Chains A and B, each alone.
Chain A
Amino acid sequence: MKKKIVTSGVDSEYVLGGLCAYLRRRGWEVIELDFGAFREPAGQLLDDLAADRAIYMTSAHTNLTLRVAGSLGLALASLYPNYLAPLENHPSAAAQPECLYPARPALAVWR
């Protein structure tokens, strides 16, 4: 079975496309969730991944969920109604992701 990598971000804050192309060439199965382009609800997709061992990488603000954005008065919900922040991708978190790569600050946090 191919190793799986799940990436996420939204529009201009999704900066992992080039890395994903490289990883595919190296034999990884890469699932990109750019919520600017991926307009469907991602819940089922993430549920399906929950049983797998996957690496999760994101260039999104880690805790900027639609709920937090709504409280801060940001229009994230109207622009991206199906957006899921890294903290909401917990079915894949249940798959024990090995890497969280936040874009800001540019630090890699390894478990």
Chain B
Amino acid sequence: MEEGSSLGTCLANSGQTRKRDWIGIVSPWIMSFLYAQQAAMIPLVQCARQGLLCLLGNQLDGDAIGLRRFLHRVGYYEVGVPADAESIDFSTVGVCPDGSFDLRASQPGLLKSDAQWSTLIASRVAMTIGDELPWRAVSGCPRFAWATGSVAAREEYALLTRSAAAAQSDALPCTLSATARWKEAGGSTAGLVACYHGPGDSHMYAAIVQPLGPSESNLSLWINTGQWDRLTETTIAEPKIKRDAGESRLPFWLKVTHDALLAGSENDTLLSISDERLSRRAVAGVRLIGDAVSLDNVSIDFPCAEPL
């Protein structure tokens, strides 16, 4: 391809003007070229009737958000990662003119692939419908590492929520658990969120871990009713906090009952307080500030409202 020419012009010159359902790009050089020159992408979008299949080298994986925004901006409705032959995961939909998008996934965050190659599918029509993918990024777009199962904010603040399935609707008690990991305190926090009502970063309960050092951390319970109020807190040290290869680890959990909030680590309840101000709702999630703390093995247990 000559410098300054567009891929669409090349397709036209080679007689490939008939519209195709899908076009696959398997060359990382062509993908980088298109990414760098947005105008060159437009004729390709017009040629591909339904979408693009992009096989990406890992040099573009580092800018996964930018690449998705680029694909939405040039006209693709949904961008996802193929989970298997028939389903899509880590799906984004371009929503606003400012380039923000809606992220839904089976896991909390945007997939970070450690593979040498990764695949994206960009489609002009919807590939996922409704609540097929339970996790939703309310704000921010943290990175989920599939290999370790950990989620970490890449921006200053991120909030992801997960709703219960219909059979689990608003059942209680709801129990959330995760393991916080950090190397340096750094002012970051990681939390579990329950009874999320929104909008945005408002109206929820949260159990927040804030590392104070390698062997010390603050654990606190919060409520947001339009503003954040700390309900109760405690300081946790070793042996609850485990140290391994320069990394600190704190397993913790949050439980919401009809009239109280409880938080703790492993089998010990460390915080307990009565609070009924927020109506119980089966929407829970994680809230991350800064990138110094990550969460592993996030688990949300909504009990079934009806006997199975």
Query: Chain A residues in contact with chain B, CB under 8 A?
Result: 43, 63, 65-68, 70-73, 84-85, 87-88, 90, 93, 111
- B residues 85-123 in Cβ contact with A at 8 Å: 93, 95-96, 102, 104
Taking a contact as CB atoms under 8 Å apart, the answer to whether B125 and A67 are in contact is no
Cβ–Cβ contact A65 & B199, under 8 A: no
Q: Are A72 and B126 in contact (CB under 8 A)?
A: no
Given contacts A67-B104, A72-B95, contact A90 B125 (CB under 8 A): yes
Chain B contact residues (Cβ within 8 angstroms of A): what range?
10 to 19
Q: Tell which of A70, A73, A85, A111 touches B126, judged by Cβ atoms closer than 8 Å.
A: A85
Verify B93–A93 contact, CB threshold 8 A.
no
Known: A67-B102, A68-B102. A88 touches B125 (CB 8 A): yes
Q: Is B77 an interface residue (CB 8 A)?
A: yes
- A90 x B95 contact (CB < 8 A): no
- Chain A residues positioned under 8 Å from B129 (CB to CB): 43, 65, 84, 88
Shortest Cβ distance from A81 into B: residue: B130
Assembled-state Cα–Cα distance A44/B244 (Å): 53
A76 → chain B, closest Cβ, in Å? 12
3 closest A-B pairs by CB: A88-B126, A71-B102, A90-B125
> Number of A-B pairs whose CB atoms are under 8 Å?
36
Task: Return the contact of B93 from the options A43, A67, A73, A84 (Cβ within 8 A).
Answer: A67
Contact check, A68 vs B125: say whether CB atoms are below 8 A apart. Answer: no
B236: min CB distance to chain A, Å: 37
Q: Which B residues touch A111, using CB under 8 A?
A: 19
Distance A85 CA – B130 CA, assembled complex (angstroms): 11
- In the assembled complex, the Cα of A28 lies from the Cα of B19 at a distance in Å of 28
* Complex: chain A residue closest to B49, CB-CB: A111
> What residue in chain A is nearest B126 (Cβ atoms)?
A88
Q: How far is the CA of A93 from the CA of B125 in the complex (A)?
A: 9
Q: Given contacts A67-B104, A68-B95, A71-B95, is CB(A87)–CB(B130) below 8 Å? A: no
Name the B residues within 8 Å of A68 (CB-CB): 93, 95, 102
- Using Cβ atoms and an 8 Å threshold, which residues of chain A touch B50? 93
| B50, B93, B130, most chain A CB atoms within 10 A | B130
* Min CB–CB distance A10 → chain B (angstroms): 16
What residues of A have a CB within 8 angstroms of the CB of B126 in the complex? 65, 67, 85, 87-88, 90
A72 to B199, CA, bound (A): 11
Residues of B225-261 at the interface with A, using a CB-CB cut-off of 8 Å, are: none
**A86 nearest in chain B by CB position:** B125
Q: Establish whether residues A70 and B130, one from each chain, have CB atoms under 8 Å apart when the complex forms.
A: no
In the complex with contacts A71-B102, A72-B95, A73-B199, A66-B130 CB distance below 8 A: yes
Known interface pairs A65-B93, A87-B77; A70-B102 also in contact (CB < 8 Å): yes
Q: Which residues of B contact A70 (CB under 8 A)?
A: 102
Cα A42 to Cα B223 in complex, Å, equals 40
Q: Which residue of B lies closest to A84 (CB)?
A: B129
Nearest B residue to A89 via CB reads: B125
* Complex Cα–Cα for A74 and B151 (A): 29
A/B interface sample: 15 pairs, CB < 8 A: A63-B77, A65-B93, A67-B104, A67-B130, A68-B93, A68-B102, A71-B95, A71-B96, A72-B95, A87-B77, A87-B124, A87-B126, A88-B126, A93-B125, A111-B19
CA distance A65 to B126 in the complex (A): 9
Q: Which residues of B are found within 8 Å of A84, using beta-carbon distances?
A: 129
- CA A28 – CA B95 in complex, angstroms? 36
Most A CB within 10 A of own CB, among B19, B95, B96: B95
Q: How near does chain A come to B94, taking the closest CB pair, in angstroms?
A: 8
Q: How far is the CA of A84 from the CA of B126 in the complex (A)?
A: 10
Q: A65-B129, A68-B93, A88-B125 are in contact. List 4 more A-B contacts (CB 8 A).
A: A63-B77, A71-B95, A73-B199, A87-B125
